[in-house]
Amino acid sequence: LHCLSNKIFVTAGAELNSRGYKSGSKVRALYFDIPATINYITKPMSLMWTDDQLIFGAGAFTGIGLAGKYGSSGNWTNLQFGEKTTDNRSRTDYGYIINLGYKTGDAPALMFSFSGGLKNVIPGDRQTTAGEAMRLSTTKVYLYFSLGDLLRK
């Protein structure tokens, strides 16, 4: 957290995200019998603005694929990361972040965050001219508190 003024600050950190992905017209969510999960470590950074109650922010993230699996009914296969035709998914990911939150008094802020992937995570050698694309996204709801606020008390 880096304060640029009383109302504007920058957040940065590292996250371990486990993501499902959209396949065809169905959204595959992490805990609902999904055919694939992919674990990425991401580096998000957002520019945030607050009016002491509402919090808005936008930023970007980069990510590196660590592990993943696909399958169903207990028959899981590990994903291979890379850019070759024998790989399942690209190792890297990047995209944008949109944040919205509400804070009252000294309580932690209730935050909503959406991270949308811009990179096609289908390996480069497997991409066709038909325009097939797969982009990962994450939606989070969490409580946010500033370490700076805690240290000042």
Confidence label for 153 from pLDDT (cuts 50, 70 and 90): low
Global pTM value: 0.78
Q: How many other C-beta atoms can be found within 10 angstroms of the C-beta atom of residue 142? A: 11
Q: What is the pLDDT of residue 54?
A: 96
Q: Region 119-136: what's the mean pLDDT?
A: 80
| Structure tokens that stand for 78 in this block | 């590990």
> Which residue(s) pair with 75 in the sheet?
72
The residue written with tokens 């035709």 in the block is 85
Question: What does the block give as tokens for 148?
Answer: 């700076």
User: How confident is the prediction for the chain on average, in pLDDT?
Assistant: 80
Nearest to 11 by CA among 51, 61, 66: 61
